[in-house]
Amino acid sequence: MIRIGFPDGTEREFPEGIEAGQAAATLQQAQEAVAVKMDGRLLDLSAPLTQSGKLELVMPDCPEGLDILRHSAAHIMAEAVGHIFEGVKFAIGPAIEDGFYYDFDLEEKITEEDLGRIEKEMRRIIAKGEPFQRLSLPKAEAMRRMKDAGQVYKLELLGEIDQEPISFYGQGDFLDLCLGPHLPDASRIKAFKLLSVAGSYWRGDSRNKMLQRVYGTAFYSEEELKKHLKLLEQAKARDHRRLGKELGLFSVHEEVGPGLIHWHPKGGLIRHLIEKFWYEEHLKRGYQIVYTPHIANERIFEISGHLDKYADLMYSPMDIDGQPYRLKPMNCPGHIMIYQSRKRSYRDLPLRLCELGTVYRYEPSGTLHGMLRVRGFTQDDAHIFCTQEQLASEVAGVLELADFMMKAFGYTYRTYLATMPEDHLGTEEEWQWSTEALRKALEERRTQYEVDEGGGVFYAPKIDIKLLDSMGRLWQGPTIQVDLNLPTRFNATYVGADGAEHLTVIVHRTVLGAMERFIGGLIEHYAGAFPLWLAPVQVKVLPIADRHNDYALEIKKGLQEKGLRSEADLRSERISLKIREATLEKIPYMLILGDKEAEKGTVALRHRTEGDLGQHCLDDVAARLLAEIEERIPA
């Protein structure tokens, strides 16, 4: 017999080997459950229980329940593709955020038009309601089966698995190498949609074969699916790649290389305005601006550990005077060099160094995505060198800065405290005091936060801030990390009040992150309609007829003298067309000029979303706009 504990605190004895679903049958909502957790481990409802422990239900409305649905849908899709196309070699098919995908190797190209055929076959398979069944095989048997089936990708994966037996899942005539868990049967898949087809290198490596990746999504109800598809349509309309091209903000050129952003004048101006804001706020808070080289001798990255830990992200060395140099993937070694340029006293601390530093990291071509995933980017980096006693107050200062800047861009956010992972550097004592300093800073700021147990990086606990955009999507935002590794590696010390040397505490922090990613996210957050203070063109002057052009140029000059970015549309076109095009360009304000305005020396003010705002004198319009800019009203 084994003893099973339940969430309500009760315990019961069951015969060893009882199925998880049978053991849970007496629990409320057991019939709706899609899987169970046994001592935190996810299991199928059909899994035999062989040890005592605590059992919980996994319901459809929890994140694990949704992942199990989508993983199961990926298997059904793979089975359907195998029915429709001959000679399919199956790669991998996981659940991902908001959906699932499966990678296929086949001679025939899967087109967008084929998605309907695949969906139809999936519905036929689902209607049969066949169970997902787990099969355990000795490794030799598993290898034989996959070899006989010609499944070369599964063979490669099998070759990397050490433990036995090997876990497979089958439904119908489809058998897949998989750890599970899955739904009890296919009939639980009620609402799904295949979304797109894309190319994807096997294992994300451009040296490998290009596979065909089919993306889809699935929900437990049609209502949830429709809601999600509507959000996808909105996201498509806000896609920064489309808007970036339409609004003339940036471009990427194959002649130069993928993942390398070219900032056009309007996009460059937006970036300049954000950088200017960034510098101003950092200088107010006692940061000092530094610049470090784009390349460095490989030795510095050996000392820092980046060459050991991040070699796959770093570009190949270049030979300079017989020495290997690298494009820098991080700014921190350079900042530490500046810190160590002279002996530091406790009186020098805290020392806050900041840099908008451009770094270079290799990203597989299949992962590149407009401005959001690039190979060269400018990081809004800063490193704070302080004592243990100063750590909490310094982190609180970063939290204040992050809060101020995120509100200026119209973001709300969620905050997470990520603690010590199993694989970590440093002692537990070091992790304890550094984590408590982060916790103290959060609580002093009265910041609501969730604890991400074990979510810290190997060298540091951290605070992660996730931004919520106007569509409710989460984006990576500010991060604050206490480094327990680099001070030791570089012997970064200060002389304390006791005359002895002590290791300096280093805080890594970003507020905006990569400028490319941040501005790409902003384009989608604002749907390209930047607030007045960030708009490349703040005012468009629109004369109704050619006879009003001289007055339009006079008004434009007056706006520019007052510090407002303006353009005049002097084309001989209908005023309705000029208004429509200025609105499509997402220009915040328009000034309409006709006979009445020219005679009275006024302008007709129009807003891109609010429409006609009436007649005003230029000074009043300028005062109104300058006040809006000063307040940095986010939308």
Partner residues linked to 380 by β-bridges = 356
Answer yes or no: do 27 and 98 share one domain. no
Answer yes or no: do 108 and 202 share one domain. yes
pLDDT, residue 27, reads: 86
Q: Is 37 one of the catalytic residues?
A: no
Residue 463 makes CB contacts below 8 A (sequence gap 6+) with: 395, 399, 415, 416, 417, 418, 438, 441, 442, 449, 478, 479, 480
Residues 507 and 482: their CA atoms lie apart, in Å, by 5
Specify whether the CB–CB gap between 44 and 178 falls below 8 A: no
Q: Is 282 one of the catalytic residues?
A: no
Beta strand 2-5 pairing with 53-58 = parallel
Q: In CATH, what number is assigned to the domain containing residue 547?
A: 3.40.50.800
Specify whether the CB–CB gap between 64 and 58 falls below 8 A: yes
Answer yes or no: do 511 and 557 share one domain. no
Residues 41 and 32: their CA atoms lie apart, in Å, by 19
Residue that is written with structure tokens 């030795």 in the block = 299
pLDDT, residue 201, reads: 86
pLDDT, residue 633, reads: 86
Domain that holds residue 199: 64-238
Residue 422 lies in a domain: yes
Answer yes or no: do 199 and 112 share one domain. yes
Specify whether the CB–CB gap between 479 and 462 falls below 8 A: yes
Q: Is 560 one of the catalytic residues?
A: no
Answer yes or no: do 388 and 444 share one domain. yes
Residue 192 lies in a domain: yes
Partner residues linked to 324 by β-bridges = 319
Q: DSSP secondary-structure letter at 313?
A: G
Residue 575 makes CB contacts below 8 A (sequence gap 6+) with: 542, 544, 592, 594
Residue 179: other Cβ atoms inside 10 A? 11
pLDDT, residue 631, reads: 92
Classify the phi-psi angles of 396: left when phi > 0, otherwise alpha if psi is within -120 to 50, otherwise beta. Answer: alpha
Q: Is 483 one of the catalytic residues?
A: no
pLDDT, residue 200, reads: 87
CA 265 to chain CA centroid, nearest Å? 26
Q: In CATH, what number is assigned to the domain containing residue 28?
A: 3.10.20.30
Residue that is written with structure tokens 């967008």 in the block = 112
Q: Which of 482, 502, 526 is the last residue of a domain?
A: 526
Answer yes or no: do 205 and 137 share one domain. yes
Answer yes or no: do 507 and 554 share one domain. no
Residues 538 and 530: their CA atoms lie apart, in Å, by 9
Q: Which of 526, 553, 583 is the last residue of a domain?
A: 526
pLDDT, residue 373, reads: 93
The residue from 154, 266, 328, 508 that is catalytic is 508
Answer yes or no: do 30 and 178 share one domain. no
Q: Is 381 one of the catalytic residues?
A: yes
The residue from 266, 326, 352, 462 that is catalytic is 462
pLDDT, residue 61, reads: 87
pLDDT, residue 8, reads: 84
pLDDT, residue 330, reads: 93
Answer yes or no: do 353 and 496 share one domain. yes
The residue from 151, 212, 379, 390 that is catalytic is 379
Residue 319 lies in a domain: no
Q: Is 62 one of the catalytic residues?
A: no
Specify whether the CB–CB gap between 44 and 182 falls below 8 A: yes
Residue 302: other Cβ atoms inside 10 A? 12
Specify whether the CB–CB gap between 635 and 573 falls below 8 A: no
- For the chain (635 residues), the mean pLDDT of every run of 10, in chain order, is 89 91 88 91 92 92 94 97 96 93 95 95 95 94 94 95 92 92 94 93 85 96 95 92 96 94 97 97 98 96 89 92 95 96 96 97 86 95 96 96 96 94 82 93 94 85 93 91 91 96 95 96 96 97 97 97 96 96 96 96 96 95 96 84
Residue 257 lies in a domain: no
Q: Is 462 one of the catalytic residues?
A: yes
Q: DSSP secondary-structure letter at 347?
A: G
Q: In CATH, what number is assigned to the domain containing residue 233?
A: 3.30.980.10
pLDDT, residue 596, reads: 95
How many domains in the chain? 4
Residue 80 lies in a domain: yes
- What does residue 216 show for φ and ψ, rounded to 5 degrees? -150, 175
The residue from 182, 266, 344, 361 that is catalytic is 361
Answer yes or no: do 49 and 71 share one domain. no
Residue 175 makes CB contacts below 8 A (sequence gap 6+) with: 135, 145, 168, 169
Residue 310 lies in a domain: no
The residue from 380, 381, 469, 483 that is catalytic is 381
Nearest-5° Cα angle at 216, 211 to 218: 150
pLDDT, residue 28, reads: 82
Q: In CATH, what number is assigned to the domain containing residue 508?
A: 3.30.930.10
Question: DSSP letters along 466-523, please?
Answer: EEE-TTS-EEEEEEEEEESSHHHHHT-EEE-TTSSEEEPEEEEEEEEEEHHHHHHHHH
Residues comprising the chain, all counted: 635
Answer yes or no: do 81 and 160 share one domain. yes
